[in-house]
Structure 1
Amino acid sequence: MVESIRFTGLASGLDTQSIVDSLMKVQRQPLDRLKQQQQVIEWQRDDYREMNKLLKSFDTYLFDNIYKQSKMLKKTVTTSNSELVSAVANAEAGNVSYKIENVKLATAARIQSTGSISTGGKLDPTKSLWSQKDKLSGLTWKKEDVSNSFTVPEGGGTDFQLTRGAISDINAQTGTSEQFITVTKADGSTENYKIVAKAATESDKPTGKEVYIDDNTGKMVFGESLAEGDTFSVEFKANYLDFNIETYNEDGSTNTRESSFKFSGTTSLNSVFNEINKSNVGINIFYDSGTDKVVTQRKATGELVKDGKSINFVGESASFFTGALKLDSSNEDNSSHGTDASFTINGLQTTRKSNTFTMNDVTFTLKKDSAGSTESSTISVKNDTDEIVKTIKEFVDKYNEMIGKINGELKEERYRTFTPLTDEQKAAMKEKEVEQWEEKARSGMLRRDTLLSSGLSKMRMDLYAEVVSNADTRTDKKYNQLSEIGIKTSKDYLDGGKLEIDEDKLREAIEDNPEAIYQLFMADGTASLNPNDKNTTPVLGIARRLRSSIAETMGKIEEKAGNTYKTEHNYSMGKDILRIKDNITRLEDRLKMVEQRYWNQYTAMEKAMQQLNSQSSQLLAQLGMGQK
């Protein structure tokens, strides 16, 4: 709403606007204090949320790093001959050496065409199979009865599309050896259109009472335009392939598609093979145009055979493989059942179905044949002390960074004389001055905050408390406190409880018992703290205790300061903000009334003075004092 324009001081000569503004400035001081209170609470709320982000970041770091055996129990593997075999060890692998020799790699079952598959010109794998049916001999098609009915649309037309391609055996009305399509006109009369071609070229365009049907695509073209409302129907056979493929697993189970592969004759050879390769039957199949042959091979290696077959083609259209593609598994020159890998490891001759296998938590990958030679490879597994030290040092750095920022908030100076600026104060200051003022005003919002200080105290207790050693917690009495692995609190009290590392002592402990170091952080068991008491108490490692304390502290902060997903009604500081906002609204309404009252008073004064001036002028005029 636009305020009304006021012309003031016309009778009195007073600057009424300035007078009212000055009076209202005093009246607005309580309103300014309320807005400043709201701003302080909002700043403090935002600082609490930043602390929660900091705590959450450290919590995530613990979960993604300290919790993972792959970080805290990392193994390193060295291989004397990586061209023969490579290896990777997981965190639970023992510190063992392996010697591998006499390697014979596993192979995959495969079948290739016994000869060229094309007849009368080479097959194009990108074109439909039906359009090239004469180039694939020995193929049995399945047929499906289809009936299409048409009503000529508005405006008439010559071109129509059957719902299927790869068609044959058109069941059209015949009176002679010729075939016709009968079109029923709107008046009930009929006209016959002779089918003139099924494989058109540019010269095959129909004329007059003729109709052309492309048996590959199902496109129909009449020699003349049919009238709107004319009807006709076509019955035909749609040709397709229907088959399945069986492969076998080590346990004798069968891999096969839940439903048979079904392909319309309009599908290309490449599309058929792509669908097979994506399926769960576990083979790769492709066509080589250079040799005009097809090769199919198991994705899995090893001798995986059932009833003498590695790959079995079944179904009514299995002739697609055995006949047209000439994939004859009985021909030894063009097929292989696949072979197992064989090798000697630490003197033991053994076999595997795959060239990659896991033994004692170490994954080996055989790379080349060495059978009959003296070539071998020695694989050594040991603790990756450097990486474990790096992870723990990173943990200490992250912890120190976190408590450094929290202590900074707790110790930050609070400048109480620097209150939040009002809009009028900001307007009267330069931008840089406003920035410097608000930096002071925002300082110390969490100074000596009890939520944060108690959270820090609890985390310090989590770090320093002993982790009880027993069979359940799997810790070592030698390493059940941080100080015993070389991690202690800084002696400088100004550091606020930051940690320091004796790297040599830490490295020595890791090399001695890495599992115990991991459990120092990750133990999750129970213990009886009193030998005479049968009751047990939960025992958690340092990282688990820290995450529990962080979750507790974050929960308390959220109860007070909320988060970005909570409305102001759902946390205590938000309720304070709502209360202040309500007080501001009510005070602003009252101030409007006060300002209006001032204006009413000054307006009344102006009217009175105007009347006085008018009466004076009249009196002077009557006395003749107004005449020269």
Structure 2
Amino acid sequence: MVNNVNNSNTATSSYSYLQYKNKVTGLASGMDIDSIMEKLMKAESAQMEKLQQQKQKYEWKRDAYREVNTTLSAFEKGIFDNYGLSKNWNAKTATSTSSSVSVTANSTASGNLTITEATAATAGQKVGDLVGVTSQSTLSELGMTTDGKIKIKAINDSGTYTEKEISYKTTDTISDLMSKINNSGVGITALASENKISLQANSTGTGVDGSINVTEDDGGVFKALGLLATGTGKVAEGTNGSMVVNGVKMESTSNKYNVSGYTVKVTNNIVAGTDAPAKISSTTETKSIVDKVKEFVATYNGLIEDLNKRVSEKKNLSYQPLTDAQKAELKDDEIKKWEDKAKAGLLKSDANINKVLSDMRSTISNYGAGSDDMLAKIGISTSKTWSDNGKLEIDENKLTKALEEDPNVVMRIFTGDPEKGTKGIVSELKTTAQNAVKNIEKTAGRESASDSSYALGKNLQDINMKIDDWKDRLKGIEERYWKQFAAMESAIQKANSQSAIFAQ
């Protein structure tokens, strides 16, 4: 019987240990054969029920392991996405003294820049007058006698030098042709309004970068529009940009420059000797980095707390998995409450989980050993409080001081140092978590794994075979009991018949 569960409001149990009912009526003996059979088969089923309870324990333990693996997988992915990349630690703000350049700073930005001269790159552009026609005139009015096509080359919006073929009809207006060029994806902006026409490349620079080239024009429409002197050729070409930064001249086909961790965009020309130089500098937002380190520590401590809870949770030995007969006596919420208590301590002192905890502590304590970039350098250490079980703690003052002395120290420790070829602590913890998942999968498998591929699965296969054997055995035992009761009923009925004869 189930103890410690209030089932005063439950319905009468409908569970039966019998495969057949009313097979022997008991009319001759006056006995409740079904009731007797229920008790007999309940006793006979005790061993099978123990096997079913053990099967449930295996399934619960497997599921508990898989919950741990889900937590570990989320942890390793989360810490890498949020703390394992250089961009995660970019807390630098760049400023410029001139509106002629805009600037941003990445995590490696260092030093100050002074731009004394800057010339913006330009895109190839051709502007012309429409003579004798307007933007709404048809191409036939322009002199086109047949439908035709043109092929144009330019840098498209994806940065690829591409050629597009554009077909036109003599009934198209000049504005229609401009729209077809715009919609072709060749990377040109074409405009026509009243008696003006303009073609401009969407990219800047000399050569192919900012140029517009007509490679085929079977009707000579570009010549008729006054955009080309001959049938084909270069319509327009852009110019490269340049700037002088800290005395060094740099040139680019675009207006963006990457210098010492800064991304500088020239928006207007700066004339040397006339315009004031653009002075660029950056500052590190220390508080932002400190807050992010605290987030990381909280994430790590959350994992450690969860794992420690699992291996320290006490087992409720008085709460075993419910049998089918016991479940039939309870309501759904009562079953849940019971099973919640029965599941407690499934991973109590578990070797696999304890290994995860040990490996995590080793990764933390061994990181950067023998180098300057140790966690202790930025104020992160393992708590000395026994009850914290390996959680981390932060000395914010030490962390802040370390950042003031070396703004990139946290980024190096968390993401690694490419110059020295060292991995960051996040990468090390990610590997530790991944190895832990693989190790636990040997015991509990994964959702898609076959039972034969992991230890608990093999246990389940074995116990299922034993349960099936017991079901066959119980079927035979029940049949034997029914035959015995049938024989008894027959004998009693025969004796009753004989007594009735003698009583006449």
TM-score range, shorter chain: 0.7 to 0.9
CA distance in 1, matches of 2:281, 2:412: 25
How many residue pairs get aligned? The number is 478
The corresponding residue for 1:285 is: 190
Do the aligned partners of residues 489 and 117 (structure 1) sit closer, same or farther apart at CA in structure 2, a change above 3 Å counting? farther
The CA deviation at 1:65 is: 3.4
The corresponding residue for 2:400 is: 507
SS of the residue 2:498 aligns to: helix
Would you say the 8 A contact 1:75–1:90 is kept in 2? yes
Amino acid at match of 1:244: K
The corresponding residue for 2:108 is: 92
Is 1:412 aligned to 2:313, yes or no? yes
The corresponding residue for 1:212 is: none
The CA deviation at 1:498 is: 0.8
SS of the residue 1:558 aligns to: helix
The CA deviation at 1:355 is: 2.3
**Alignment partner of 1:606 out of 475, 489, 502:** 489
What are the equivalent positions in structure 2 for 1:259-270 lying under 5 Å apart?
261=165, 263=167, 265=169
Amino acid at match of 1:62: I
SS of the residue 1:246 aligns to: strand
Is 1:110 aligned to 2:111, yes or no? no
Is 1:597 aligned to 2:480, yes or no? yes
Alpha-carbon displacement from aligned partner over 1:94-124 (angstroms, at most 9, x marks no partner): x2222335555333222245217867x935x
More helix per residue: 2
Would you say the 8 A contact 1:277–1:285 is kept in 2? yes
Do the aligned partners of residues 256 and 450 (structure 1) sit closer, same or farther apart at CA in structure 2, a change above 3 Å counting? closer
Amino acid at match of 1:366: V
**Alignment partner of 1:243 out of 150, 157, 162:** 150
Do the aligned partners of residues 454 and 248 (structure 1) sit closer, same or farther apart at CA in structure 2, a change above 3 Å counting? closer
CA distance in 1, matches of 2:205, 2:64: 63
The CA deviation at 1:280 is: 7.0
Would you say the 8 A contact 1:103–1:341 is kept in 2? yes
Would you say the 8 A contact 1:243–1:317 is kept in 2? yes
Alpha-carbon displacement from aligned partner over 1:444-463 (angstroms, at most 9, x marks no partner): 00010111112211221211
Is 1:62 aligned to 2:62, yes or no? no
CA distance in 1, matches of 2:422, 2:208: 53
SS of the residue 2:281 aligns to: strand
What are the equivalent positions in structure 2 for 1:525-536 lying under 5 Å apart?
none
CA distance in 2, matches of 1:48, 1:600: 48
SS of the residue 2:151 aligns to: strand
User: What TM-score results when the alignment is normalised by the length of structure 2?
Assistant: 0.83
Task: List gaps (5 residues or longer) in structure 1.
Answer: 124-131, 142-238, 470-476, 528-537, 622-628
SS of the residue 1:43 aligns to: helix
User: What TM-score results when the alignment is normalised by the length of structure 1?
Assistant: 0.68
Would you say the 8 A contact 1:116–1:291 is kept in 2? no
Would you say the 8 A contact 1:73–1:514 is kept in 2? no
The corresponding residue for 1:8 is: 25
What are the equivalent positions in structure 2 for 1:260-409 lying under 5 Å apart?
261=165, 263=167, 265=169, 276-277=181-182, 281-286=186-191, 288=192, 290-291=193-194, 294-304=197-207, 310-317=211-218, 319-323=220-224, 325-328=225-228, 337-346=237-246, 351-369=251-269, 371=271, 374-409=275-310
The CA deviation at 1:357 is: 2.3
**Alignment partner of 2:386 out of 474, 486, 493:** 493
Amino acid at match of 1:100: I
Amino acid at match of 1:584: I
The corresponding residue for 1:216 is: none
Amino acid at match of 1:489: T
SS of the residue 1:446 aligns to: coil
Task: List gaps (5 residues or longer) in structure 2.
Answer: 1-18
The CA deviation at 1:620 is: 2.5
The CA deviation at 1:499 is: 0.8
Moved more, 51-60 or 556-565: 51-60
SS of the residue 2:26 aligns to: coil
Amino acid at match of 1:589: D
Alpha-carbon displacement from aligned partner over 1:458-495 (angstroms, at most 9, x marks no partner): 221211125255xxxxxxx4x33322321122232111
Would you say the 8 A contact 1:245–1:313 is kept in 2? yes
The CA deviation at 1:432 is: 3.5
SS of the residue 1:111 aligns to: strand
SS of the residue 1:417 aligns to: coil
CA distance in 1, matches of 2:48, 2:424: 53
Do the aligned partners of residues 526 and 246 (structure 1) sit closer, same or farther apart at CA in structure 2, a change above 3 Å counting? closer
Is 1:573 aligned to 2:476, yes or no? no
Do the aligned partners of residues 574 and 15 (structure 1) sit closer, same or farther apart at CA in structure 2, a change above 3 Å counting? same
CA distance in 1, matches of 2:68, 2:276: 60
Amino acid at match of 1:460: R
Do the aligned partners of residues 311 and 47 (structure 1) sit closer, same or farther apart at CA in structure 2, a change above 3 Å counting? same
CA distance in 2, matches of 1:525, 1:381: 22
Amino acid at match of 2:143: G
SS of the residue 1:57 aligns to: helix
CA distance in 1, matches of 2:297, 2:291: 10
Is 1:122 aligned to 2:142, yes or no? no
What are the equivalent positions in structure 2 for 1:20-59 lying under 5 Å apart?
20-59=37-76
SS of the residue 2:227 aligns to: coil
Do the aligned partners of residues 264 and 609 (structure 1) sit closer, same or farther apart at CA in structure 2, a change above 3 Å counting? farther
**Alignment partner of 2:326 out of 425, 433, 444:** 425
Look at both structures and tell me which one has the larger radius of gyration over its CA atoms: 1
Would you say the 8 A contact 1:111–1:329 is kept in 2? no
Do the aligned partners of residues 303 and 41 (structure 1) sit closer, same or farther apart at CA in structure 2, a change above 3 Å counting? same
CA distance in 1, matches of 2:227, 2:495: 122
The corresponding residue for 1:547 is: 430
Alpha-carbon displacement from aligned partner over 1:271-330 (angstroms, at most 9, x marks no partner): 9767754667432234x4x52654321111234479xx942322242623332x543479
Moved more, 428-437 or 498-507: 428-437
CA distance in 2, matches of 1:268, 1:558: 68
SS of the residue 1:315 aligns to: strand
Would you say the 8 A contact 1:248–1:304 is kept in 2? no
The CA deviation at 1:415 is: 0.8
Would you say the 8 A contact 1:524–1:541 is kept in 2? yes
The corresponding residue for 1:451 is: 352
The corresponding residue for 1:168 is: none
CA distance in 2, matches of 1:266, 1:138: 9
Do the aligned partners of residues 386 and 321 (structure 1) sit closer, same or farther apart at CA in structure 2, a change above 3 Å counting? farther
Alpha-carbon displacement from aligned partner over 1:107-158 (angstroms, at most 9, x marks no partner): 3222245217867x935xxxxxxxx6644x33364xxxxxxxxxxxxxxxxx
The CA deviation at 1:386 is: 3.1
Do the aligned partners of residues 273 and 601 (structure 1) sit closer, same or farther apart at CA in structure 2, a change above 3 Å counting? farther
Amino acid at match of 2:161: N
Amino acid at match of 2:261: D
The CA deviation at 1:12 is: 1.3
The CA deviation at 1:338 is: 3.5
Amino acid at match of 1:86: S
The corresponding residue for 2:10 is: none
More strand per residue: 1
